[in-house]
Structure 1
Amino acid sequence: MPPPPGITRKLLFAFGALVALFAAASVFALGRLTEIHDGSHALQSASGRVRTALELATAVRDEYAHLAHTIILGNDSHARFHAEARARVEELTRRLQEQAQDAEERAWVADIQESGDALDRLFRETLLPAVVARDHAAVTAAHGRALELVALIQARADALARRFDTSIGSFAEHVGAVEHTSFLWALLFLGGATLFAAGVGLYIGNSVARPVARLTEGASRLAQGDLNTRIPEGEPDEFGRLAAQFNRMTEALRAHQEQLVQHEKLAGIGRLAAGVAHEINNPLGVILGYVRLLERKAEGPLAEDLKVVEEEAVRCQEIVEGLLDLARPGRLAVEQVALREVCDEVVARLQESTRLGDVKVQVEGDASAWVHPQRVRQVLFNLVKNAAEAAGSGGRVAVRIEGRTDGGATVAVSDSGPGVKPEDRSRLFEPFFTTKTSGTGLGLAVSQAIAHAHGGRIEADTGPLGGARFTLHLPPAGEGA
């Protein structure tokens, strides 16, 4: 027989109230998630401002380094390099002007602009003519003024970096407060829904209580700092959508945290590299000079050996520049390159230098991509060399080149070695992390930075030969560098 009208009304009221409660909880949660997303975006923006300020300080040091080299060498050979460094400083200064948010920050940027212009004029109009004219007194005076201007620029850049870093802390605190409040209100809404559903009946209890428990558990783990928390999304209902939003939020927070840590590591390496790059390039330049001088007099096998020394010294210079790409790879000048030719050249170079030993390397496929030839050659050199070392004596390495339908390309380097341990896979591209007994642990980090500069990436998994496979993904023309 049909249920009494009163029970019907109560059930309809209960279901209606339950739906309304769930709707309110979903709207509130989505609103909070949006606020957290906005806070994460603000964090990324503040982080970008910090990096710009730090890059400006580094660029000013580069400009001063060329000024100092002009004094040391006593000629204008570094004038072109000084102009390039000056262009970089101007670009970063303009970026800081766009990122300044109040009058004080704009005033600091104006000081940087004014001091930078003064430093450039001092170099071109006073110091360089004095160096060429051998006017030591004028050179000394100009150098002292240059030091004052560089110190002022770096002081302003450091002040901006500290202020931007403080804003990062404020944004992070705000996001944390929103997360905490969202967690408490989610518990209130969902806990009330669970109690209300228990009073309606077992069916509603079973339909609501378990999703609420999963959300509560996930929110608790997230509040404890577990950014790998994932909630089963289940059915495509309100709870499923809420779980999906929660999972996307935690994934975004985890990815952002990893990016911040990685950027800080790369920025530290970049500062270190910038400080020693010119000092390393000086002895390399001397080595190259003497080798090329000896090449003119040498004949036969000795000339060939000197040619190899010259090529390796040049590659060392390229590696020094590659270290700088970890922190500021910038935009690369690209051209269309046949990847098969690059891979064949890399394998031939490794065979000539006996780095492959008796490892058999097979190159298959063909494709072209818009890349910076030297940078991509460096990446492939690292990948093939690492694969040969992992394969060991008598091992095999396979290089597979494929073009994609979207205009991009992939180069997969597989080896027959022992592969990568699961616990090491997440750290493969961290600077200074290595599983080998020798090496700096910078090869894969530099390669990944170059891939990112092209708008691509490098992924690691298990290859067809049973060992590791590293795949370089290159984007279509116009999407990368």
Structure 2
Amino acid sequence: MRYGSGTARRLALGFGALVLLFAAASAVAIAGSMRIHRGLGEMKSREEGVRLSLELASAVRDQYAHQAHTIIIGDASHLGFYATSRETVLRLTRALRQAAEEPEERALVDQIEAESGRLDGIFRERIVPAVLAGERASVKLEHDRAQLVVTKIQDLTQALVERFEAKIRAFRREADVVQRRTLGFLVGLLVAAPGVAVIVSVVIGRSIATPVAQLHAGAARIAAGELDARIEVRGAPELEALARQWNATTAALREHQDRLVESEKLAGIGRLAAGVAHEINNPLGVILGYAKLLRKKADPAAAEDLAVIEEETLRAKEIVDGLLDLSRPLPAPAQPVDLRALTEDVVSRLRDARLLDGVAVSVDGGATAPGHPDKLRQVLVNLVRNAAEAAGPGGRVAVRVAAQDGTAEVAVEDSGPGIDAANRGKLFEPFFTTKPRGTGLGLAVSRAIARAHGGDLAADPGGGGGARFALRLPARAERAEA
């Protein structure tokens, strides 16, 4: 099937035209509708302001009317009605303050509130005492002053109403402009849509056809066994995501195959070790015993040769024990292990054995993981000892213990020369070593122990230029005992 023509092209053209037309028309219509909706909301807010302003003016008139009744009647019988009208004025003033959005509007509300307080002060502090005392002249004077304040409040509320109404008129004019502009955009878009749709559809067709062909070619290479092949796609985001997922899948498959090969290799070594370990250990034990016995009776020259025999016999026994560690199945983790305490104990014992002389070792953090203390101790001894040997006298080794997202990690970082990039992929292979007298089994056994615990052991470049080995274990929470 050719992806540049036929059904794929027709689908791309038709789909592209429909999507373009619908999206563009919808975007213009939605944008216009949103602007009109915002305008209507603001108009509603201003209309509410007009209503509140008119109600406030009416409430002020009621407040003044109760003042007048108090003056006419000449007693305090209307003070309760006056208090109710005053509370209404305060409530409307607070509501009007919330409706006022611009600084000029808030300034008018502030003036209304101030004048209303002034009117209340004139009535309570001057008019009421004068009425009760029968001071008609003072009553008339303060009544005239209160009347002027009421007039000012009425003028201020009218000014506020005019500002609100001006905003309403402006919003209506803007809504008409937006409506006409949106209609013009929609008409222009419908006129230009066919040509634009054709151009965009061609581009979409090319952005799909080429990536699909690249995916097809990459899949064929992978099917032929080229698991290192990567599919590089530039085009539709979905196809780029598909290519990335395909690459991730092949990488995982390649890693799985590498693990299978490693497992088969370890299984073969295990079977070999299990079959011959007993037969080898017996003569090694005899050789080691006779060498020690003869060293006690031999002259110095022969004793030196026997010491070499004893050392090499121990080395052979160490290799056999390492092979047995690879072949022995590890039961399920039995108890929670304090990784910080275990690490500090390992460092202490290595220091007592003078294997850390001249090396500064620090231990930070803390975490707990279920496992076998002795097996995990074996891993930590190997990692700390290797780091100290790499750092050398005057060097530093930093051990950081941490728990995050259900995983406990013990990271051992040294200040040594680091890991050669050419050797990084071989570090955990049995019998691979860069040490003159290494067996090449330490890291292989350590990783096998980590994986038997459900975790892993990884090597990375350190932050200070050295090497960083990280032991990661599942950190399951401990259950409280009943």
> What's the TM-score once normalised by structure 2's chain length?
0.48
Q: Which has the larger radius of gyration?
A: 2
